[in-house]
Structure formats: structure tokens, C-alpha cells
């Protein structure tokens, strides 16, 4: 099997699974319990939190463990909006965010908040000047993703943070789910208040992640009942998952010297598809992440491409895994100005550090073998 859907989820590292198993067996106590089994679990939790914070040069108290990206984004967005509603009801995001962000804002709109959805350019980038021009006295939150999950565009979040650090009472949230381990981000930037990380994108187990909450930032919690995670996320902590997450993050960040090789593989894809008849490349040439590539075959249903490749043992995807089963045009590609036909026919190839050049060769070979069928469909559509 050739697995090229790593932006949907990654295969856990074997060492990470061993850590999860060991912690599950040896540290099964509830970390809130006062007996020795509980205190041992609490010690492991503290050790993992300290290790995670050190990786990102932040304070351990700024690490709030969650179940992953969706929960982290919802806690950051709804938690900020609801906590600071007395200061204002205006929020800012972009048109190309992950569904977990866009739907959180939609819910807040239904609750009486006003949301500005910023447009993007043809490469999918938000303009920092547009962010600045959209700010109002009643703006309490700006939320912009770091790396787009469909096309890999890297947003200028640090430039936006430079602006927002001088704007009192407006908090800045960054969805860093697709960027961790692939595109660096300074969590300690004074303009970044909240940042979401998901474990299963970096070879940890599913159901793990954390939200960076800068000291001094107050949130309204989504869950109540146990006062865990500084009262921001009640519920018994997933200690084995958290320990495994710390291991996966360390192992992923240690492989940063392989990013150039990963970028080279993406460039190979880009050059090959730019020369391929009927293909439309959607990932920008510059300022895009090294592991995400998006291409469309207008007129060909993406599931046809995906199933054709699956028969050859190659696994790719369409848009966000959270929305891949929805038969509709990609809002991200529409925001870029692509036509509906292109926006409904895109596939995403997403790599990891274990992806090889031989696997990319086999993907391109398989697509060339399928190309006559695709072109026939496209020709019939245009006839």
C-alpha cells in the first residue's frame, strides 16, 4: 500500500504506540485520585506537559490538552467569543478555514455575533492589510489557519501577529494543525494568543492534541464538571494519549532536517502535473507547505480518480477528510477563483517524512495509465 493521505491522518510511530501501551498498563490511575496509582499518573501527565512545552518554548501552564484539532479550534473560538462578549461581538476569520473553524463561527453568528470572512488571493493567502482594515473597536478575536489543509498555502500569520500584538482586547488564534512539524511557528510571539495542535497529524494516536493558551488569556470552557486542565477542559485526562503525543511531537520535530527532501517530492509532483494534459494545479508555487499538493481534473469526479488509484494500492483524498464525503465544490478552491467544475474535481496528495521517491514515481505512473480514461471523460463533458 502507498499511503498519500497524511493530512487526513498519519500512521502512528511504533515507538509512540509502545509509549501508549506502557502508559495504559503502568499509569492507569486517574490523575485526580489521591492514592499512589493516581499520583503516578499525575506525575506522568506533568512530565509530558513539561516536555511538550519545552518543544515549543512555552510555559507548561500554557498547554491545555484536548481531543484534537476540532475541539481545540472550538474551544479557542467559542471560548474567546463567549468569555469576552461584553467587550464586543465582532469576529474575523477567512473564507478558507477548516470546517471546524467555519462551523464554529457559523454557530456564533446564529447566537448574535457578527463575523467578517476575509477573502484570499489566487494563491489562497489572506492579506495582513485586510486583517488590519477589518478590525473594529468591538473585534474580540481573529482566527487564521497557518497551513491550509487542502492546498497547502502558508498564511502570513506572524505578520498578522505583528499587527495584532498592538491591538488591545483582540485575541489571535492560529489553527496550526497542518503546520506542526512541517512549517515552523513561534508560539511565543507576543501577538499569538491561542494555537491549536492535533496529535494524529504528527504520528500520535487519534483523540489527542493541545491548545496553546498564552498566560493571561481567559476562555469560557466548553466542558464543565471536573476542573481539569486549569478548569478549561473538564474530564479525566487521557494520560496514555498525552504521553504518546509528547513522544510523537518530539520525534516529528527531530526530523526537521528532512523537510528539504519532502519539499523536493512536492516539487516533483508540481512539475509533473503542470505538464500533464487536463490537470489544473491548485497548490501555489511559493509559500506552500512541503507536504500538501492539490490538483484537479476538471470534468472528472474526484472519486473516480481516487478509486482508480486505490485499485493500484495508492491512497489519496479529496478535500478535508471532515468534508470529503460531501458531494459539493470545495469552498477553498472557489475562494481562490476556480470555477465550479475545477472546485468539484480536485484531489489532495499529502506526504509524510516516510514518503519515498519510489512511491511518488508509482503515483505518477498510475495516473499516466489512467489519464486516457480521464481525458475521454473530460472530452465528452466538453463536447
Which tens digits make up the pLDDT trace of 172-195?
Answer: 999 999 999 999 999 999 999 999
pLDDT tens sequence for the chain (383 residues): 999 999 999 999 999 999 999 999 999 988 878 898 888 999 999 999 999 999 999 999 999 999 999 999 999 999 999 999 999 999 999 999 999 999 999 999 999 999 999 999 999 999 999 999 999 999 999 999 999 999 999 999 999 999 999 999 999 999 999 999 999 999 999 999 999 999 999 999 999 999 999 999 999 998 988 888 888 888 888 999 999 999 999 999 999 999 999 999 999 999 999 998 889 999 999 899 999 999 999 988 899 899 999 999 999 998 654 544 556 899 999 999 999 999 999 999 999 999 999 999 999 999 988 877 766 665 555 54
Domains 2-8+258-371 and 14-253 share a fold: no
Q: Are 259 and 290 in contact (CB under 8 A)?
A: yes
> Catalytic residue positions?
322
Grid coordinates in use for 235? 474530564
CATH number of the domain at 14-253, out of 3.40.50.300, 1.10.150.120, 2.40.110.10, 3.40.640.10?
Answer: 3.40.640.10
- Label each residue of 320-344 as H, E or C: CCCCCCCCCCCHHHHHCCCCHHHHC
Strand order across the beta sheet in which 280-281 lies: 280-281, 292-296, 346-350
Q: Which three cell numbers stand for residue 268?
A: 516533483
Strand partners, 141: 91, 171
Closest by alpha carbon to 19, among 249, 258, 247, 359?
A: 247
Report the pLDDT value the prediction gives residue 105, as an integer from 0 to 100: 98
Which CATH code of 3.90.1170.50, 3.40.50.20, 3.90.1150.10, 3.10.180.10 fits the domain covering 2-8+258-371? 3.90.1150.10
Report the DSSP beta bridge partners of residue 114: 90
Nearest one of 16, 88, 70 to 243, comparing CA atoms: 16
Cα distance between residue 60 and residue 54, in whole Å: 8
Strand 346-350 to 90-94 pairing: unpaired
Residues 6+ apart with CB under 8 A from 71: 209, 222
pTM above 0.75, yes or no: yes
Annotated domain spans of the chain? 2-8+258-371, 14-253
- Beta bridge partner(s), residue 153: 288
Amino acid at each position: 500500500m502507498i499511503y498519500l493521505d497524511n493530512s487526513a491522518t498519519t500512521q502512528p510511530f511504533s515507538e509512540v504506540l509502545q509509549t501508549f501501551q506502557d502508559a495504559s498498563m503502568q499509569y492507569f490511575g486517574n490523575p485526580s485520585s489521591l492514592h499512589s496509582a493516581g499520583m503516578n499518573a499525575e506525575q506522568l501527565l506533568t512530565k509530558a506537559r513539561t516536555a511538550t512545552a519545552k518543544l515549543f518554548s512555552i510555559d507548561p501552564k500554557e498547554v491545555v490538552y484536548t481531543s484534537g484539532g476540532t475541539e481545540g479550534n472550538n474551544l479557542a473560538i467559542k471560548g474567546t467569543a463567549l468569555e469576552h462578549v461584553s467587550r464586543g461581538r465582532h469576529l474575523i476569520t477567512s473564507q478558507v478555514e477548516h470546517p471546524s473553524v467555519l462551523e464554529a463561527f457559523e454557530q456564533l453568528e446564529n447566537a448574535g455575533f457578527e463575523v467578517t470572512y476575509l477573502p484570499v488571493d489566487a494563491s489562497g493567502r489572506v492579506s495582513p492589510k485586510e486583517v488590519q482594515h477589518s478590525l473594529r473597536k468591538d473585534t474580540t478575536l481573529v482566527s487564521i489557519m497557518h497551513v491550509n489543509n487542502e492546498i497547502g498555502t502558508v498564511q502570513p500569520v506572524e505578520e498578522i501577529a505583528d499587527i495584532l500584538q498592538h491591538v488591545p482586547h483582540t485575541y489571535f488564534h492560529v489553527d496550526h494543525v497542518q503546520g506542526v512539524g512541517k512549517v515552523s511557528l513561534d508560539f511565543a510571539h507576543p501577538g499569538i494568543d491561542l494555537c491549536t495542535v492535533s496529535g494524529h497529524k504528527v504520528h500520535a494516536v487519534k483523540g489527542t492534541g493541545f491548545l496553546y493558551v498564552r498566560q493571561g488569556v481567559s476562555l469560557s470552557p466548553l466542558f464543565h464538571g471536573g476542573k481539569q486542565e486549569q478548569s478549561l477542559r473538564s474530564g479525566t485526562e487521557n494520560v496514555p494519549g498525552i504521553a504518546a503525543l509528547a513522544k510523537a511531537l518530539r520525534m516529528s520535530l527531530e526530523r526537521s532536517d528532512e523537510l528539504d527532501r519532502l519539499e523536493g517530492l512536492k516539487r516533483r509532483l508540481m512539475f509533473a502535473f503542470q505538464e500533464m494534459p487536463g490537470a489544473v494545479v491548485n497548490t501555489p508555487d511559493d509559500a506552500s507547505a512541503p507536504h500538501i499538493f492539490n490538483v484537479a481534473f476538471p470534468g472528472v469526479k474526484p472519486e473516480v480518480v481516487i478509486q482508480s488509484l486505490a485499485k493500484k494500492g495508492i491512497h489519496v483524498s479529496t478535500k478535508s477528510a471532515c468534508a470529503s464525503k460531501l458531494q459539493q465544490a470545495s469552498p477553498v478552491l472557489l475562494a481562490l477563483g476556480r470555477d465550479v467544475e475545477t472546485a468539484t474535481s480536485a484531489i489532495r496528495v499529502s506526504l509524510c517524512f516516510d514518503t519515498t521517491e519510489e512511491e511518488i514515481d508509482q503515483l505518477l505512473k498510475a495516473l499516466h495509465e489512467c489519464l486516457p480514461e480521464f481525458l475521454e471523460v473530460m472530452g465528452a463533458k466538453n463536447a
